[in-house]
Amino acid sequence: MITKSYTAFFKELAANNHKDWFQENKKRYEEDVKKPFTALVENLLSELSKKDGRISQIKASQTLFRINRDIRFSKDKTPYNTVMKASISAGGKKSEMPGFYLGIDAESVHLGGGLYNIATPNLKKIRSFLLQHCEEFSAIAESASFKNKLGSIKGEQAKRIDKEFMATAGDCPYLFNKQFYAMANIDINDFLKLDNNAQTGIILEYFDEIEPVNQFLEKAMS
């Protein structure tokens, strides 16, 4: 389970984000951060696979993002992320299938899902599907439970869309979306009060809310 040792590591890393400090504290990272985070993801995979058998083929290691930052094109040259992140989907982390997101840093648990990177052909499929099923999607994304847990569907919006979608866009503003995702935060202090099963359980509550969005998007792209 995630403990104060986890958050303590990231607080210290934020103040000492350089290679020498990380190498001196690498054992702490492995034991206090990576190990419990991986175990949490394994618990989530086990539960999610009960609903979607395809997820049973995914290993926790296939969902994790590296602690090392890609600094090649960034002005920020600090070498390490101060958050552990995982992307869970039936197609694996690098697929274009909708899925679930989990990130835990020293302040918050970030959780949600949907689709963030959408190739143009898939985006057109989603928009075409929305033309016929906008009320269905709106009912999912604007339900009281969804708003309570995740707020609203987020994503960059296009200034212009194909003419075939424009006539309906006024009644279905989601047609302008270039991304379809939702994200919520849990205060880390509240999360740390929970035992192992409860930590898994509360994350699954949020994943349950995003799941109908994922199912809609996957159906649209199929």
Which pLDDT tens digit goes with each residue over 64-100? 999 999 888 888 889 999 999 999 998 887 788 999 9
The predicted-structure confidence for 56-65, as pLDDT tens digits, reads as follows 999 999 999 9
161-215 pLDDT tens trace: 888 788 777 788 999 999 999 999 999 999 999 999 999 999 999 999 999 999 9
Provide CATH code, domain 4-221: 3.30.930
Stated pTM of the model: 0.93
pLDDT for 148: 96
Residue ranges per domain, the chain?
4-221
3-state secondary structure the chain: CCCHHHHHHHHHHHHCCCHHHHHHCHHHHHHHHHHHHHHHHHHHHHHHCCCCHHHHHCCHHHCECCCECCCCCCCCCCCECCEEEEEECCCCCCCCCCEEEEEEECCEEEEEEEECCCCHHHHHHHHHHHHHHHHHHHHHHCCHHHHHHHCCCECCECCCCCHHHHHHHCCCHHHHECCEEEEEEEEHHHHHCCCHHHHHHHHHHHHHHHHHHHHHHHHHHC
